[in-house]
Amino acid sequence: MMRRDFYSELLNGIDHPETYYCRVWECQARYEYLMLIQLKSDPAEMRGKELFWEFQRVMYFQGPLHWQGADFRLGSDSECIELLAQLEPKVTHPEMLIEWDFCSLFKFKDKITGLDIKILAGGAFGPKAKVESAP
């Protein structure tokens, strides 16, 4: 599937992603719901490698605001359809949103607590070394 290949680039330049610490850095509800995830190689060390992912058109977030493990997998089409149907029962054909690559389900597992993290979003970009603050 094309989007799976595209999203594998989110891990470019990240050695041992399972060791990275992630946290929700910023959320914005302006034009489209935007979420920035900060990734750090060592949260206690200021010199540690710091990167950011940008998730756009975030429709759903489940999980803690920080976790260990930047290694993710994409949810299946059926998982996305089921979640979309729960979130917006008025959507008559959620499978078309998946078919048109309108949204993807990003799934993480916290390596410390075992909690699941889910982000249903229209797109994700990164990793970026810096992010611009919203005006």
The model's pTM: 0.84
Q: How far apart are CA 115 and CA 67, in angstroms?
A: 9
Domain ranges (residues) in the chain: 2-128
Give the pLDDT score at 135.
46
22 has a pLDDT exceeding 90? yes
Give the pLDDT score at 5.
63
Of 128, 126, 26, 32, nearest to 72 by C-alpha is 126
DSSP code of residue 19? G
Position 1 confidence tier, pLDDT thresholds 50, 70, 90: very low
Cα 21–Cα 23–Cα 25 angle in degrees, nearest 5: 135
124 has a pLDDT exceeding 60? yes
DSSP, collapsed to helix, strand or coil, labels residue 45 as coil
Average pLDDT, the chain: 84
